[in-house]
Amino acid sequence: MAAVIENTVHPAFEKLRSHRISTLNVTVEEYRHRKTGARHLHLAADNDENVFFVALRTFPMDSTGVAHILEHTALCGSERFPVRDPFFMMIRRSLNTFMNAFTSSDWTAYPFASMNRKDFDNLLTVYLDSVFFSSLDPLDFAQEGHRLEFDTPDDPSTDLVYRGVVYNEMKGAMSAPTSQLWQNLSSHLFPTTTYHYNSGGEPDHIVDLSYDDLLRFYRHHYHPSNAIFATYGDIPAHEHHERFEELALKRFDQLDVELPVRDEKRMFSPVRVDQSYAVSEGEDTGQKTHIVMGWLLGHSFDLQENLEGQLLASVLLENSASPLMRALETTDIGQSPSPMCGLEDSNREMTFVCGIEGSDPDKQDDLEALIEQTLAKVVEEGVSEDRLEAILHQLELHQREIAGDSFPYGLQLIMTAISPMVHGGDPVELLDLEPVLADMREKIRDPQYVPGLIRRKLLENPHRVTLTLRPDDKLESRRQAAIRDALARRKASLTDEEVRQIVERAQALEERQTRKDDDSILPKVDLTDVPLQLPEPESRFAGDMPATIYARGTNGLVYEQVILPVPNLTEEELLLLPYYTTLIPEVGCGDLDYLQMQDRISAESGGVSASFSAKGKI
């Protein structure tokens, strides 16, 4: 049964457009809130797992982690729900299929999903209040962000230390060499835009963020004029609008939100950078250097540019038979290809990265020469059309497949659409793949198409950074000594009043953390809100074999799992069983253009069962 498309439009909103995507079984509806300019993307679908998502464009221009800390702090109580932890308290009072919040490099989002309408409404009430009317208690900032505290909180004779949830989280995250590698490379590929900075926060900079800085960032960024609402499911858009308006939007006016949203200024000559990362003191530093090369490419939210970038990455790096990956795996310049190899398309502009780990600092010239020679050879020899067809099939499968990260189906669709909405692109284009995929199939027939991409996007692209990240076994000790010295000077300058405030804040934090809040002010569902029966799936028969069939918008893909009893097989026959893939076409997948298969064999009482899973395009 197709989703019913409601034509009713709430008076507070104007409808911008409607676009049907048959392969997803959704109708994309775009709206704008008349008073504030807030945008709403609604994916109308015949699916009772309704999803809500609100994103705020957040473009920090420093590495204090303000957006990350704000994401944590906003969920620590709000105007209608002044309890310390409404987010986690609602997990126990809800039938949600997903609840979370996360900070990207250029947006912060608060999503949830539920299959129960009352539960959905409850969560919407809590989420909108948390986002737009957050309490932002100074104690929560101290807890979630950072604070100065005595090592023994009630003993001023002990050393001063830094504490805080995000501060400690990022100390752990940024201790990994790969995190430092990516952050250092990004900071040089993006010298002037928000991606130059660590949106999660650098520990040495997090401690510079003040509570007043947090409040200013919240007032400027957490406003409906800067918000993107997105919903998915069978609740009509006008019902969402009624709730948005009543719970939040009617209390706001238009705000002129100035955000640094622009492309990076292009470099006219490649850059080389030499930096260090910390290893344990006394550790052998030989052959522990990372050397990577990164290029800045086009817009990630332009599907044509995005697919071209993914095509390049697949041609060059997909597996050991790919020319660039083979060169990186077989060279004696380093021990193995860098884990950074590939295309990064989560930012406004994409980056292509390749390199090695387990090398030495003086191998930088050798690596650049190896990569340039390999790319030039691919340009000269070209790539066979059969190879490109196979890669494009895999890219199409990857683009079409809506799965991964345990996200609900609707949330995955919304996550696909959010980047163009943040950066001014067209969300429908990222969801409606057919036109661009058809164009790509025509382009790969030209033998000069891929060589031209390699030449234009890599060999002749001067916006390139070569980063050498070498180990330093003294770096961490120098950093810790600097922190200790700074804290010692800070302690020596404390007045008696400041000492008292630090001790009292630690006591207040402990009391707040141990206080039992009255959770009765939060909405909840009970047994009367839960249906007694689940809807029955449609069952059909393919020949003599029973089949349970679920109709869903799966972006043109068919998913099939077949389980068959196969008793009394010898050990040799069991080993051959995974290759008997003809079992799947026999039960209905014979018309697939291509498919990917997984198989599983497990022992059961009385024999053996074989489970075959496949996905493919009709």
545-556, pLDDT tens digit by residue? 666 766 666 666
74-117, pLDDT tens digit by residue? 999 999 999 988 988 998 889 999 999 999 999 999 999 999 99
Mean pLDDT of 418-433: 85
Catalytic residues: 71
Mean pLDDT of 541-570: 65
Mean pLDDT of 475-495: 95
Question: Cα 482 vs. chain centroid, distance in angstroms?
Answer: 34
200-246, pLDDT tens digit by residue? 999 999 999 999 999 999 999 999 999 999 999 999 999 999 999 99
191 pLDDT higher than 90: yes
- Rounded to whole angstroms, how far apart are CA atoms 95 and 486? 49
CB 503 within 8 A of CB 153: yes
Residue 582's pLDDT band, with cuts at 50, 70 and 90, is very low
499-513, pLDDT tens digit by residue? 999 999 999 999 988
4 pLDDT higher than 80: no
605 pLDDT higher than 50: no
588 pLDDT higher than 50: no
Mean pLDDT of 59-88: 94
Question: Cα 332 vs. chain centroid, distance in angstroms?
Answer: 35
Mean pLDDT of 363-391: 95
Nearest to 388 by CA among 343, 449, 432, 436: 449
The pTM for the full model equals: 0.85
Q: What mean pLDDT is reported for the chain? A: 87
Q: Given this model, what pLDDT does residue 437 score?
A: 84
- Rounded to whole angstroms, how far apart are CA atoms 176 and 285? 16
Mean pLDDT of 172-200: 94
Percent of the chain clearing pLDDT 90 (strictly above): 67
- 205-219, 293-307, 371-385, 508-522: range with lowest mean pLDDT: 508-522
Mean pLDDT of 341-357: 95
Q: HSE of 286 in the Cβ direction (CA atoms, 13 Å)? A: 1
399 pLDDT higher than 70: no
DSSP 194-260: GGGS-TT--HHHHTT--HHHHHHHHHHHSSGGGEEEEEEESS-HHHHHHHHHHHTGGG---------
Q: Given this model, what pLDDT does residue 514 score?
A: 86
Complete domains list, the chain, with CATH: 271-405+419-472 (3.30.830.10), 556-617 (3.30.300.100)
CB 508 within 8 A of CB 73: no
Mean pLDDT of 21-26: 84
Enumerate residues 6+ apart whose C-beta is below 8 A from 207. 146, 162, 167
Would you state the structure tokens that stand for residue 477, as one six-digit string?
A: 């000790």
